[in-house]
Amino acid sequence: MNSVPKRRITCTLIMACLLALCLPGYSSPEYRAVSVLYTNDTHDHLIPFSYPEPENPKLGYAQMPFRKNIGGIARRATLVRRIRAETHGNALLMDAGDVVEGTPFGLEYDGKPDYEAMAAVGYDAAVPGNHDFRFSLAVFRAHMAMIPHVCANLVDRKTGKPELPEYRIFTIGGAKIAVFGVTVPSPEFPASKEGLDFLEPYVTAAKLVPELRKQADVVIALSHLGAGEDETLAKRAPGIDVIVGGHSHTRYATPKFVPNGGSEASSVNGTLIVQAYEHGVELGRLDLRLRKDGGRFTVMSYTGKLIPITSDIPDDPKTAKIVAKYYKPLAKTYGQVIGEATDTFFTMPAVLNLVCDSMREASGADVAIYGVGAVRGDLVKGTLRAWDVATAIPYSNKIQVLDMTGEQVKQILIRFPVKPGVSGMKYRMVGADKVECTIAGKPIDDKAVYKVATIDWLVGLYFKGYPVTKTLDITARDSIVNYIRARKTVTPDKEDRKNGS
């Protein structure tokens, strides 16, 4: 037998393998891991807080594992730092907008503490949400400069050029990650009115995504459009690997997967949509595993979860110092006890009824009207502080009074796309353009003139054409504080006044 020594066979095999590796088109796959950390709709919630015992099991906070003493940006900073260390820096931290309007941090400092603290946490990218246009254009621009922002559908009206970078490209372990922003068009907000225009978000994204796919391995949309709209975005702008969403305050405990029907854009064959509810109570974490076999890295697999920000996570000292600097002066005024709630005032309808009753009392009007969307939080059973009222109604809109006939009041109710809360009256829509209504228990008199109290913001939106007869030097929020102070103890009125007459 003509045997070949074993060693020689081994050598030949090794040589063959090495040769194969040198052949064109052959390479062993490369793998990378990227962690996407995210928040959305934090709305000035820089310090920990508690939710009430949930009334509705479908609500996001009803589904959270922890509801008491949660959140706080200084704890979030510690958690982010830990994950950055654990992933050897292969993590990107982003926020999907609505940083401001939620607590006295926004009311008293125009939201500056939020961005200062976020800069300390080290956000890599953020998209402005509709509430972030709340202040003047100068304030908006100052905020945007404090952390890296992206937005592809926002333009400077004067120049027609993008107001912010449309996207940023990050390199993580050699993999290129593009992050672009899209936000909900919000022309009615002060900064927008002063000089910003919005482009149609889906069309803008559909144009941009193919460009980004040429430049990057992974395409992430930072979206302040809302959960339903994000699914439309995934379909209308194919090729997005991940949508980090906001606006709808949706709690996706795990990523939502929208298949794309086999487009080769992403190897998971679809788009992952994530959103971390609200108020920084949880930190979203999406771990992507990337694979490159020749061409580009593609998403091979993923895992995602929401991490509760609980009291066992210590404060990051640098971030805590920033929060404390701004919180101390607020604690004096907003920390004052104003009364007691015998039960929890849930936003709908109890807080809505409360704000309407308070405005009517403050103005002496026959009826008061207030929008559903401007009620942002519950008032939890027990001791009430001015701070609690400011988180339920985090706005400084002045109360205004108009003289209106019964017929005009009915027309106003028809104008509201989402039917508003009321005081002094009850009403019910009959179809889209007919209202049944009582004022002080009697059917509304179409020709009689009533005094109607509302807020300046709603006058601008829905009361156009009706002259304001009086502007009170008091906000709707302050009227609630006075209302509670005068009574000391308040009980929620749970009647749905817009569905009765």
Q: How far is CA 433 from CA 320, 413, 426, in A?
A: 52, 9, 16
3-state secondary structure labels for all residues of 364-429: CCCEEEECHHHCCCCECCEEEEHHHHHHHCCCCCEEEEEEEEHHHHHHHHHHCCCCCEEECEEEEE
Alpha carbon distance 336, 344 (integer Å): 19
- In sequence order, which ranges of 31-188 are alpha helices (DSSP H)? 73-86, 104-109, 112-121, 137-146
Q: Which is closer to Zn ion, CB of 277 or CB of 483?
A: 277
Query: Which positions ≥6 away from 18 have C-beta within 8 Å?
Result: none
Residue 254 CB, nearest approach to Zn ion (Å): 21
Residue 41 CB, nearest approach to Zn ion (Å): 4
Read off the tokens for 450.
Answer: 């009533």
Q: Which is closer to Zn ion, CB of 276 or CB of 288?
A: 276
Q: Which is closer to Zn ion, CB of 98 or CB of 282?
A: 98
Q: Which is closer to Zn ion, CB of 43 or CB of 477?
A: 43
Q: Which is closer to Zn ion, CB of 98 or CB of 241?
A: 98
Residue 497 CB, nearest approach to Zn ion (Å): 25
Contact 356, 421 (CB under 8 A): yes
Q: Which is closer to Zn ion, CB of 277 or CB of 345?
A: 277
Helix or strand or coil: residue 3? Answer: coil
What's the chain's length in residues?
A: 501
Residue 299 CB, nearest approach to Zn ion (Å): 28
Contact 373, 395 (CB under 8 A): no
Site for Zn ion in 296-325 (CB under 5 A): none
Q: Which is closer to Zn ion, CB of 96 or CB of 120?
A: 96
3-state secondary structure labels for all residues of 206-231: HHHHHHHHHHCCEEEEEEECCHHHHH
Residue 247 CB, nearest approach to Zn ion (Å): 6
The closest alpha carbon to 188, from 123, 133, 264, 147, belongs to 133
The torsion region of residue 379 among left (phi > 0), alpha (psi -120 to 50) and beta comes to beta
Residue 153 CB, nearest approach to Zn ion (Å): 18
Count residues near Zn ion (CB under 5 A): 2
Alpha carbon distance 344, 111 (integer Å): 28
Which one of the spans 96-104, 222-230, 285-293, 493-501 is the region binding Zn ion (CB under 5 A)?
96-104
Q: Which is closer to Zn ion, CB of 162 or CB of 185?
A: 185
Pairing of strands 435-439, 442-443: antiparallel
Which one of the spans 28-36, 97-105, 116-124, 413-421 is the region binding Zn ion (CB under 5 A)?
97-105
Alpha carbon distance 361, 382 (integer Å): 23
Contact 222, 181 (CB under 8 A): yes
Contact 480, 487 (CB under 8 A): no
Answer for which of 95, 98, 132, 282 binds Zn ion (CB under 5 A) is 98
Which one of the spans 93-101, 152-160, 183-191, 408-416 is the region binding Zn ion (CB under 5 A)?
93-101
Q: Which is closer to Zn ion, CB of 151 or CB of 290?
A: 151
Residue 246 CB, nearest approach to Zn ion (Å): 7
Residue 311 CB, nearest approach to Zn ion (Å): 25
Q: Which is closer to Zn ion, CB of 42 or CB of 479?
A: 42
Spell out, one character per residue from 33 to 72, where the chain touches Zn ion: x when CB under 5 A holds, - when not. Answer: --------x-------------------------------
Which one of the spans 24-32, 98-106, 404-412, 429-437 is the region binding Zn ion (CB under 5 A)?
98-106
Does position 361 interact with Zn ion (CB under 5 A)? The reply is no
Residue 43 CB, nearest approach to Zn ion (Å): 6
Residue 133 CB, nearest approach to Zn ion (Å): 12
Site for Zn ion in 456-475 (CB under 5 A): none
Interface ranges with Zn ion (CB under 5 A): 41, 98
